[in-house]
Amino acid sequence: MTVSLPDAPWWASAVVYQVYPRSFADSDGDGIGDLRGIASKLDHLELLGVDVIWLSPVYPSPQDDAGYDISDYQGIDPTFGTLDDFDALLADVHARGMKLVMDLVVNHTSDEHPWFVKSRSSQDHPKRDWYWWRPAREGMEAGQPGAEPTNWGSAFSGSAWQHDEVTGEYYLHLFSRKQPDLNWENPEVREALYAMMRWWLDRGVDGFRMDVINFISKDMAADGSLPDGDVPDGGLFGNGRPHFTCGPRIHEFLQEMHREVFAGRRSGLLTVGEMPGVTVNDAILFTDPARAEVDMVFQFEHVELDHGADKWDVRPLRLTDLKKSFGRWQLGLADVGWNSLYWDNHDAPRAVSRFGDDGEFRERSATMLATVLHLHRGTPYVYQGEELGMTGAHFERIDQYRDIESLNHFAEALEHGRATEESLLEALRASSRDNSRTPVQWDATENAGFTTGEPWIAVNPNYPEINAAEQHDNPSSVFHFYRSLITLRHAEPAVALGDFTMLMPDDEAVYAFLRRHGQTELLVLGNFSTEPRPVLIFDTAAWTGAQLVLCNIDSGAVTDDSSLPELQPWEARVYRRQVG
């Protein structure tokens, strides 16, 4: 049962589940997941208890970046099904009391989108200015090395500019060559995108997860030029990020979008902006309800704490850094705005393999990570398979990878002699996006029950042990633990709304905090290590006799002693007491 919380937005007590359709469930044996596959697994999501499904892109797409390169915003890729399949899925999701949120990818389109095909056709085409076309750098000839309009690198290796033979100009693509950036400076572009968004809302969808939405406003000078970025030591390209992250018109664009698309619509919609590089101060502005921009943002700080020079250079996570970061976000958005909470998604390696122990303590570390995350203030997101404690792919060979970012990085680093094949494979094993893109493990039959065909990416060979069928029947499984966490958020206002106080900020192994709402106080404890660890909080005696609400060790901890028992490896506990 979900308690209704007066004065609180509905999503304070909601949990969102991300479906990455290629890897979720395949209904027709082509090896790629599809809409009917998703429909066939709604029982699983209903049993889990999630409130909202976020569907990664299912639109027509050449699939250069797994669907984040869209060639038609108002259709469904035949690989995934039809609009009728979509409507049927949406109706079923609604009938089960859940909502469905679409992925909105409007920083860029596919180069095969008719808008870009027209834009590329000539310098005079009315759609020319819908994208970022620029001539070669002054004094240089188009196509020459270094003649790109700016020195920015793309997120997927190489320059962010592509020379186009048809007109001799360059177009901007912050991601792949097949993902040209839309020019949001042009009001016609914005109007076309808003109309498309209204069309989906009219169809019944419940909101949008907005892909790299804080990149849409670029730092353009009055003469139309864009600035060069600083080149890091030994780097091949300049860093353009400061020139397009939360750019000068970003708030204006989001407020306009809100007015044009969301204002006056039914309540119960959800908007979440994916925002790499967003700071707490930016996030307060983006999520202040009075400003009418978005409900919440995905920030990236906590998933970059283990990065060295870049994402391929992984360092061990210092727990104190994680606490500092999460603590700052909790405090920053305590009064105004709202946090979203996540470990995993289709771009990140799985947290159980990254911050936990995916060997001996897989279940315990997966459930500990989940407890710590879900008990923060904010809306938690569960990425498919996370609720099963699925582990990273850790592929051995380059031909097992499918992700454009991974493949391009491998090729570029080898070409420039920056690393050996062996060290690159090691970096991919830790950080590749494909780690989390392997098919959902439904049961112990061939291909984990994901497909009857040849899966587009290999199934993790551990599926006979880690799969949904086994966990549905096993009350002490990771799946049932996630259910308990979701039930707790639904039922306990202190989880949804309580104040947050970090405890033990300097401890490198134990994550501890309080949540307080009215007379109810929760104590959350998680051991991020394989050693037993003491709980060193000021008033342990106050917790004598407190109710143990949740624990990830079957035998459970007892509190009839005047101190809190030490935490076992990767143990998590949540206590509740009444105060004042």
- 277 belongs to the binding site for ligand TEU (CB under 6 A): no
CA angle 355, 357, 360 (to 5 degrees): 175
- 237 belongs to the binding site for ligand TEU (CB under 6 A): no
Give whichever of 274 and 293 is closer to ligand TEU, judged by the CB atom: 274
- 212 belongs to the binding site for ligand TEU (CB under 6 A): yes
- 65 belongs to the binding site for ligand TEU (CB under 6 A): yes
Quick one: DSSP state of residue 557?
A: -
User: Which residues, including other chains, have CB under 8 Å from residue 387's CB and lie 6 or more apart?
Assistant: 17, 48, 478, 479, 482
Query: If you search the block for the tokens 């101060």, which residue do you land on?
Result: 281
Work out the number of other CB atoms within 10 angstroms of the CB of residue 271: 25
Q: Which of 20, 24, 68, 161 binds ligand TEU (CB under 6 A)?
A: 68
**Nearest by Cα to 455 from 29, 68, 66, 56:** 29
In the bound complex, what is the minimum distance in angstroms from residue 347's beta carbon to ligand TEU? 4
Measured between alpha carbons, how far is 437 from 340 in angstroms, rounded to an integer? 21
- 358 belongs to the binding site for ligand TEU (CB under 6 A): no
Q: Which of 227, 276, 327, 534 binds ligand TEU (CB under 6 A)?
A: 276
Binding mask 306-325 for ligand TEU (x = CB under 6 A): -----x--------------
- 155 belongs to the binding site for ligand TEU (CB under 6 A): yes
Give whichever of 212 and 485 is closer to ligand TEU, judged by the CB atom: 212
- 227 belongs to the binding site for ligand TEU (CB under 6 A): no
Give whichever of 437 and 573 is closer to ligand TEU, judged by the CB atom: 437
Give whichever of 167 and 432 is closer to ligand TEU, judged by the CB atom: 432
3-state secondary structure of 156: coil
Measured between alpha carbons, how far is 305 from 316 in angstroms, rounded to an integer? 9
- 178 belongs to the binding site for ligand TEU (CB under 6 A): no
- 492 belongs to the binding site for ligand TEU (CB under 6 A): no
How many residues bind ligand TEU (CB under 6 A)? The answer is 13
- 463 belongs to the binding site for ligand TEU (CB under 6 A): no
531 is catalytic: no
CA atoms within 13 A on the CB side of 250: 24
- 158 belongs to the binding site for ligand TEU (CB under 6 A): no
Work out the number of other CB atoms within 10 angstroms of the CB of residue 94: 13
Selected catalytic residue, list 211, 344, 358, 571: 211
Cα-based distances in Å from 302 to 322, 343, 523: 6, 9, 22
In the bound complex, what is the minimum distance in angstroms from residue 215's beta carbon to ligand TEU? 8
Give whichever of 34 and 211 is closer to ligand TEU, judged by the CB atom: 211
Binding mask 404-443 for ligand TEU (x = CB under 6 A): -x--------------------------------------
Rg of the chain taking only CA atoms, in angstroms? 24
Beta-strand pair 99-104/207-210: parallel
In the bound complex, what is the minimum distance in angstroms from residue 346's beta carbon to ligand TEU? 6
CB distance 181 to 174 below 8 Å: yes
State the SS3 of 251-269.
Answer: HHHHHHHHHHHHCCCCCCC
Q: Which of residues 82-111 bind ligand TEU (CB under 6 A)?
A: 105
Selected catalytic residue, list 69, 111, 274, 306: 274
Residue nearest to ligand TEU (CB): 68
Task: Provide the phi-psi class of 378: left if phi over 0, else alpha when psi is between -120 and 50, else beta.
Answer: left
Task: Determine the length of the chain.
Answer: 580
260 is catalytic: no
In the bound complex, what is the minimum distance in angstroms from residue 155's beta carbon to ligand TEU? 4
Measured between alpha carbons, how far is 339 from 280 in angstroms, rounded to an integer? 10
**Residues labelled as active-site residues:** 211, 274
Binding site for ligand TEU (CB under 6 A): 65, 68, 105, 155, 175, 211-212, 274, 276, 311, 346-347, 405
